[in-house]
Amino acid sequence: MHFYVSEQTNVLFSYSIRPQIVNSQLVAFLEGSGTDSRSRRLKDVWQFDDDEIEHTNDFIQWMFPLTEASGSNFSAPTLLASEVDLIRSSAECQQNLETSASWILAFFKRSEEVARFTNHNHLRVTRIIKSLRLLHSDQMADQFKQDVLAIIQERQACINPVNVAFWLES
């Protein structure tokens, strides 16, 4: 038996099998031709303003998916091994991962939230690093990590060392 807490209701749920997005809906989303579970295309998410980026918590799992289940979004897709291979071999997915990483990094540069001691954006950073390493390259993941650490250093922010340790281990 597994458990999760709904972000919307703060209610504890249990489940035995986690739903999977099948038929490569996730791959189509990353290629820019498909939609997420809320009928948004990747280009729609890239149009979010800063308030939407900060307060919408269901896009990041689509933009930077993982093979492990999300602990904060029960409806988030979980990558299948076959999807990892498709994404790694798709030029469109690779380009869109790069664009998405640049897009969210630009948000982190504008926002004060990532420089707080602890913040939900720290979980996003960990996810992004892991996803880039899995789906793009070690180089891209390491560059993203260094860019985020540079933002923190530039602002002379005090970040929870546990969160930074997750980034360094990712």
Q: Where are the domains of the chain?
A: 19-169
d(CA 32, CA 166): 30
DSSP category for residue 113: G
Q: Name the packing angle between helices 138-154 and 120-135 (round to 10°).
A: 150
Indicate the pLDDT class of residue 103, thresholds 50, 70 and 90: very high
Per-residue model confidence as pLDDT tens digits over 13-28: 444 334 444 458 999 9
pLDDT recorded at residue 137? 97
Q: What is the mean pLDDT of residues 16-45?
A: 80
What's the distance, CA 5 to chain centroid? 18
| pTM score of the predicted model | 0.82
Indicate the pLDDT class of residue 76, thresholds 50, 70 and 90: confident
Q: What is the mean pLDDT of residues 142-157?
A: 88
pLDDT recorded at residue 144? 96
Indicate the pLDDT class of residue 10, thresholds 50, 70 and 90: very low
Q: What is the mean pLDDT of residues 126-144?
A: 96
What's the distance, CA 66 to chain centroid? 8
Ranking 63-77, 83-97, 113-127 by mean pLDDT, the lowest is 113-127
**In sequence order, which residues have a C-beta less than 8 Å from that of residue 77 and are 6 or more positions away?**
20, 21, 25, 26, 37, 61, 62, 65
pLDDT recorded at residue 21? 41
Task: Determine phi and psi for 15, rounding to 5 degrees.
Answer: -155, 155
Q: CB-side exposure of 109: number of CA atoms within 13 Å?
A: 10
**pLDDT mean across residues, the chain:** 84
Is pLDDT of 113 > 60? yes
Q: Hey, what are 55's tokens?
A: 């307060």
